[in-house]
Amino acid sequence: MKRVQFEHSAVPYLFIAPQILIISIFFLWPAVQALYQSFLLEDAFGMSSQFVWFRNFEDVLTSSSWTRSAIFTVVFSVLVSVLSIAISLFLAVRADEVIRGAKSYKTLLMWGYAIAPPVAGLLGIMMFNPLMGDLYKAFNSFGFEFNHIENANDAAFIVILIAVWKQVSVNFIFFLSGLQGIPKSVQEAATLDCKSPERRFWTITFPLLAPTTFFLLVINLTYAFFETFGIIDVSTKGAPGGSTATLVYKVYVDGFLGADMGGSAAQSVLLMIMVSVLTVFQFRFIERKVHY
């Protein structure tokens, strides 16, 4: 790599200063505070605190509720990412083939993007309301004994459904532009070389979408980890019994509702570590395979 030496001057630092300031105020400062707080044991009113080293971490890691939430988060994130990527890829490929009225299809499929997560959560939970929810009634009329208020799997199903639905439109936009970035002549050359459209898709189109897919995988995992907070808070609130609480939601519940600041801070530090590891893993091992 070639290094370019610039004259040292204050100007470049001035340019970067706003960004540094924002990161410092909204990320570094809270992160340091969380780290400090994770070593403290505080009473519920914040009147007194005691430095307890790693006891908060011990408590978190040995608690069954945290382990359960961690497992749920992993399953939830993987399912949400994989399902929303798969569904949106399918939709994008089909929409790309449409000739008449293509614009209307595409616009309608993108609309979901404009909906805020809590609104999506509200819509979802209303559809599954035991008294007036159409989907709730429909599921039960088909003979499923669907009851998300008591059954953890049913509740998880609802949260995943809403989270996937909300994310499909985002992925759809990226896949569509990815598909349109594949030169038409390359696809035509492939039609001469390969008769089966399915085979053509898996050998030409999909590999050429790999950079898009990787990017979306990162985006979707982040989304499932953090941005589904609004959906969960509005729909299930982690119920029944914390079985649909992701780690992020649990940080909020334990810290702000349970007033266990130390334990909550320890959880968020663990979360930070997990995300860092995940990021390194993604870029190290997956990204290497998607470049062409």
Partner 1 sequence: MATVTLNQAQKTYPNGFKAIHGIDLKIEHGEFTVLVGPSGCGKSTLLRMIAGLEGISDGEIIIDDKVVNTVAPADRDIAMVFQNYALYPHMNNYGNMAYGLKNRGYSKAEIDAKVREAARILQLEDHLERKPRQLSGGQRQRVAMGRAIVRQPKVFLFDEPLSNLDAKLRVDMRLEIKNLQQRLGITSVYVTHDQVEAMTLADRLIVMNGGVAEQIGTPIDIYEKPASQFVAGFIGSPAMNFLKGKVSDDKKHVTVGDGVMLDLDHDVEAGRDVTVGIRPEHLELLKDGEGRINAGVRMVESLGAETLAYLDFGANADNVTLRLQGTHTFEKGEKLSLSVPASKIHLFDIESGQRI
The reply on whether position 207 binds partner 1 by CB under 8 A is yes
User: Is omega for the bond preceding 18 within 30 degrees of 0, making it cis?
Assistant: no
Task: Quote the least distance from Cβ 207 to partner 1, whole Å.
Answer: 4
Whether the CB-CB separation of 271 and 69 falls below 8 Å is answered with no
State phi, psi for 8 to the nearest 5 degrees: -75, 125
Length of the chain: 292
Residue 51's DSSP bridge partners are 40
The reply on whether position 286 binds partner 1 by CB under 8 A is no
**Between residues 23 and 186, which has the closer beta carbon with respect to partner 1?**
186
Task: Quote the least distance from Cβ 154 to partner 1, whole Å.
Answer: 42
Task: Quote the least distance from Cβ 99 to partner 1, whole Å.
Answer: 9
Helix (H) or strand (E) holding 190: helix 184-193
Task: Quote the least distance from Cβ 93 to partner 1, whole Å.
Answer: 17
**Between residues 64 and 196, which has the closer beta carbon with respect to partner 1?**
196
Distance CA 113, CA 3 (A): 41
Task: Quote the least distance from Cβ 129 to partner 1, whole Å.
Answer: 47
**Between residues 189 and 273, which has the closer beta carbon with respect to partner 1?**
189
**Between residues 51 and 206, which has the closer beta carbon with respect to partner 1?**
206
**Between residues 209 and 253, which has the closer beta carbon with respect to partner 1?**
209
Which positions from 176 through 205 interact with partner 1, judged by CB under 8 A?
Answer: 183, 185-186, 188-196, 199, 203-204
Burial class (CB in 10 A: 0-12, 13-18, 19+), 211: middle
Instruction: Report which DSSP code applies to 111.
Output: G
Hey, what's the torsion of the CAs at 159, 152, 135, 120, to 10 degrees? -20
**Between residues 94 and 199, which has the closer beta carbon with respect to partner 1?**
199
Distance CA 118, CA 196 (A): 43
Task: Quote the least distance from Cβ 289 to partner 1, whole Å.
Answer: 11
Which residue ranges make up the site for partner 1 (CB under 8 A)?
A: 183, 185-186, 188-196, 199, 203-204, 207-208, 210, 292
